[in-house]
Structure formats: structure tokens, C-alpha cells
Amino acid sequence: MTNNLRVVLVVCFAAMLSTTALAQRAVPPPPKPVDSGPSLAATLQFIQERVLQQGKVNYAAYVHDNSAGNDWTVQKAVEITNIVPRPETCILSYHFKLWNNGTIAIDQDAGIPFRDAEDVIILPVEQAWKEVDSKAGNTTWSYRSDPPVFILRVRRKVGYNEINFTDEAMANRVAKAMVHAIELCGGGNKDPF
């Protein structure tokens, strides 16, 4: 083999190795896209305004026990007040009150921690009641609310927050805003499966 041929083979081999080495280099990830949409402060303010705008949600819960044949009605009311957006901590704090037949059943301060939130769903109130009562062993009960009520549920790994709406379209708008707040706060379901 001539020297010229050896030089060509060495150069070709070196070029092949450098190409392989280049292909194996780690490529830095693309830059994070600029956050689009309203700021967290504006998003929390939108949620605050829409929830306060609806005021107290009053409705009748009609329950039927399919096994015993019993029927009963519960006059319900739910009110969320004192909503305070806290963008610096990614929390929307509020006061929650629930009445059953005019008697206060729940009266407490609460908050939605958007960093811990995994997702937001909307479900009919009847489905929420069925979940609770089935866990309590009342699997034969069926429900109807008048007027229809929609539950906006912010789910976390442990627990959830619920806000009642009589306007499904408004519940969906607020849910969309809450999903945006979750994204801005770094929350969301991180489970790859």
C-alpha cells in the first residue's frame, strides 16, 4: 500500500470517527417557550371575579333509594366568599359555607394550592354525590338536582377543592383559567403513565 493510500484511509477513518462522535454529542434542549396568556395575578383575579359574580348557589337535591323505595329532598346552598388571590404563593384562599335544609353543615376557610394541583374536571353534582354516597355504602341511591349544578373539581394527589356552578359554560371558563394557573405555578400531573 502506498503512503498516499494510507494517508487517504487514515483521513477517511478519522472523518468517520469524528462524524460518529459528533452524532453522539448531547444537544441542549430548545429554549423554554415564552409563557403566553394572562399573568398569574390576572388569572387568579379572573377566577375570583367569576366565582364571586355567581354568589350563593341554591338548589334542591332529590334523592331516591332504589332498594327501599324511599324519596327525600334536601334544600342545599353553597357560598364561597372572601376570595383572596395570592400569586406570590400560587394559592387562591377563600371561605366556604354549605347549608343543608337551612342548617350550616360546613363553615370553613380553604384554599386551592395550584402548585399541588394535578388537574381540573367538571362533573354534574349528581355524579359527585354518587361518589361520596357509594363510598359510604349507599350504592342504591340515585339523584337529581334542580336547577342543574356543575362541580368544578381541582384534584391533587391527596384531596380536592370543589366550586359549584349553575352555569356550565362559566364553570368551563373558570376551569380553563385554573388549568392556566396550574401551568404557571408548575403544577399538573407529572405521572408519565
User: Mean pLDDT over residues 43-70, rounded?
Assistant: 97
Of residues 132 and 8, the one with the higher pLDDT is: 132
CA dihedral 56, 183, 92, 97 (to 10 degrees): 40
Query: According to the model, what pLDDT value does residue 117 have?
Result: 97
Domain ranges of the chain: 40-185
Query: According to the model, what pLDDT value does residue 163 have?
Result: 97
Cα–Cα dist 133/128, whole Å:
9
On the CB side of 172, CA atoms within 13 Å amount to 4
Percent above pLDDT 90 for the chain: 78
Task: State the pTM of this model.
Answer: 0.79
Grid cell digits, residue 41: 395575578
User: pLDDT tens, 7-49?
Assistant: 444 444 444 544 444 445 555 554 444 457 899 999 999 999 9
Q: How many CB atoms lie within 10 A of CB 165?
A: 24
CA angle 110-161-38, nearest 5°? 90
Of residues 102 and 190, the one with the higher pLDDT is: 102
Residues in the chain: 193
Q: What is the mean pLDDT of the chain?
A: 88
Burial code (b: 16+ CB inside 10 Å, e: under 16) for 86-113 equals ebeebbbebebebbeeeeeeeeeeeebb
Query: According to the model, what pLDDT value does residue 20 have?
Result: 45
